[in-house]
Chain A
Amino acid sequence: MKILFKVLFAASLVTAATGCESFLDINENPNSPTSVTPDAQLASALTVTASNYSAGVQNGTSYNSYASFAVGYWGKSGTVSGYSPERTYNYSNTYYQALWNNTYDNLTDYNIIQQNGTANGYPNHAAIARIMKAYNFLLLVDEYGDIPYTNALQGATNTSPSYDKAADIYKDLIVQLKGAVTDIDAVDATARGVGNEDVVFRGNMKKWKQFANSLLLRILLRESQTSDAALTASVTSEMKTLQSAPDGFITSDVVVQPGYAANSNQQNPFYNRYGYSVGAINTTSEYSFVMPTNYIIAQYQNKNDPRIKQLYTVGKRTVNGTAVPQYVGTDLGEPSPPRFVSTDATVGSRWLIGGTFLRAPGAPTVLMLLSEHLFSKAEAETRNLFTGGEVAAKADFLDGIKASFVTTFRTTTALADINASTLATTTVGVSEYTTYIDGNTTNALVNYDIAPSAGALGKQSVIIYQKYLAENTLASTEAWDDFRRTGLPKFKISLEATSPTLPSRLIYPQTEVSTNQVNIPKGTDQFTKIFWDVVD
C-alpha cells in the first residue's frame, strides 16, 4: 500500500510540476472551423438570402410573407386566429423583427467573403459578395429607412453602429453595384473562377454583371419620383449610363438553386413552410392559415386570366342550397373568413399544390423575376428615363406579361425552364399568354395601346398594375415597394384597420432597441415614410 501511495504521490507531483504549459494547450476547437475560404461560404450565403427574401423558415422571418399581407395578396383564413398586426396595421417592435438581424447576419457572410476574397485571391467571389451586399442593404433600407450602413458589419470594432440616411445609402448602393461590375471586368483571366458554389449563375460572371445592372435599375426607379430635384437629376443621368451598360440586363428569372430536395432543411423554403414537411402526407398547418384576397382573385377572374388555374384551388359557395364551385377569397379583416372544410357552406381557395407557388420541394427560389425587370424597363421607357419611348415600353410591357406567364406555367424545377430569354412560342405558358392578350384587347389594364396616357402616372399605372400581378407571392416585396412609391394598385384596406392609411414601413426592432437605442432615429412609427415613398 505504501508503494501505491508513493506512486500516486509521484504521479501527481509530475502532473503538477512538469509541462504545465503543454498540459493546458488543449484549446484548439475540434468542433467548428474558425476560418473558411470564400468558395466555402458563398453557397450558404446565397441560399440564406433566397430564404429570407422568399419564405423564411419560421413565422416572421421572410420579406415575402410580410409584404404579401401588406400589399393585399394574402388574407387570414378562418382556420386560425391571430395575424392581428396584419389585420389592424397595429405593428409592434417585435413584428417581423427577425428580418433585421437575419439580414445583417447574412450580410456578414458577404462581407467576410468580400474581404477574404479581395485579400486572398478570390476576386470574382468578392465581386459577387459586393453585389449581394447591395441587394440585402436595399431590402433593409426599403423596410426601415435609415439604418446602420457605413459603420455596420464591423463586429467587435463597433457594436452599436450609428445610422446613415436612407437616401445616402441609396447613393452608395449605386456606387457599389457599378464598382462590382468594374471589379469583374478587371479580373485577370488567370484568376480563380467561381464554381458550383455560385448557386445562382454557376460561375457565369457576365450574368452577375447583368444582375447588377438590373438591380441598379430597381434602385434608380424606386427613388425616381421624389420631389428632390438634385436626386431626380442624378437618377436621370445614372439611367442614361445604365441603359447603355455593355453587359445589358438579366435575360431570365434570377433564382437560387443549391439543389433543393425532399430532405430536412433542404426543401424549397416556401414549399417547406406552406406545402409539405419532409415525408408528410398532409400539408403544413400554415398552408391553411393564409388564403388569397378577394381583390387579387378578382383581378385574374375579371380578365379570364389563365394564370389563376396555376395559382389557386377552386373553392365553393353555397347559393340557395346549391354548392357552386368557384374561386373564393377573403377580405382581410372580415370576422369569419372562409375555411377549407368541404362540409362548410363556403370553402376558400388556397394555393394550388403543384402550382406556381408550391411547385415541388426541389423548386428554385426567386431573387429577381425577369418580368419585374421588363416592367421596370418599360416604366423607364415610358417615363423617358430610358430612350425608346412608347414603342419600346409596349414591347417590354408585353414581354413582362409573357415572362410572368412563363414563370407561372413552368412545369419542372430545372433552372433552364424559367429562362424566358427567348420567350419563344414553344415555351410553356406562351399560348396562355396569347389567349390572355387576345381576350383582353378592350381592357385598358392589358392592352397597352388603350391604357390612359394622361393622369399623374400615365401609362406607368398599367405597367405597375401588371407588375403587381406578376409579382404575386413570388416577389411580393417589390410589389409592396412599388405600391408605396406609386400608390398602385388600389387594393382593399383591412376591415379591421385601426388607421385610415396603410403602414409605410416596419418599426425598428426590439433587438435593436435593447442594444443600440441611442442611435435609433427618434419619432418613427409604422406610418413614417421611406424617403422615396411619395404617394399616399
Chain B
Amino acid sequence: MTKKIIIILLLNYLLTMNGIELATLIENRIKPDDIKSTNTMTITNKKGRKKTLQLISKSKDNSKRQMIWFLSPPDDKGMSFLKIEHDDKDDLMKMWLPGFKKLRRIASSKKSDSFMGSDLSFEDLTNRNINDFSYKLISNESECEYKSTTTSCYELESIPKNINSQYSKHITWVIQENDTYLSIKENSFDKDSQLLKIKSIEFEQITYSQDSDSAITNSSKNFYIMNKLDVKNVQKNTSTSLVVNDISINLGIEDKDFNEMNLKRLP
C-alpha cells in the first residue's frame, strides 16, 4: 500500500514537472570529472560519400574544457582543437594546424561554423547554460525509439534567450534511466524556424569505483556517458556519425593541462 502511495505521489510529481525542472534534472545528471576517449567520426555528404576521421578527446567539467587531436586521415593527423568555455566572457577556441606550425583562434561569433567539416557546429560542442534558454514541457508521455526499443519519454522545448545562437529552438526527447534523465533525440530549428538538424544520442553506463578498477563497491558511481551521436542536417542532406570508444573517466586531468603546448603534440 505504501509503495502504491509513493508511486502515485511520484507520478503526480512527474506529471506536474515543468520544463525548467526537467532541464535541471538533465543538467544535474552526475558526470565524471574528466573523460578521455577515442572517437570515430564519419561524415557523409549529400552525394552519400563518406569521410572518416579518428580523433582523441580529453574533456573536463562536463566538456567545458576540451581538447581534440586528429589521428587520421593521415593528411589531417596532428590537427587539434582547444576549447575553454567561460560563463562571464566569450569562450576561447583555438586550432592548431601542424603544417603551418601556427595556432589560430576561432572567433566565438563563429559558433555556427562546422567542426572539421562535420554536421556538428562549434555550438553543438558547447555546453548549454541552463539560464540561457526558456523551457516548455510539451509532453511527458511521448513515445520514442531508443536503442531499437520504443519507450516513453518527455518532450522538451528549449528556446534561446538573448544569446548568439544559430538555432531558434530545440525539441528534445528525454528518457529516464534509473534516476538519470538522458536526452536521446533532439530536433534543432534554424533562425527561420525550419528544421535544420536531427540528433540521436546513445549512452553507455559506466561504473566507476575509486577503490578498485573493476570491483563494484559501496563507493561506486554509475555514469551515463554518450557513446554514439548521429546528426543529420536535413537542409543540406548530410550526416555525421560519432562513435565514442575506449572511454576512460576520472583520470585526474587538471585545468592547466588544457593549454597550447599540449595542443601541439599528440597525447
Q: Does B bind A?
A: no
B interface list, Cβ under 8 A from A = none
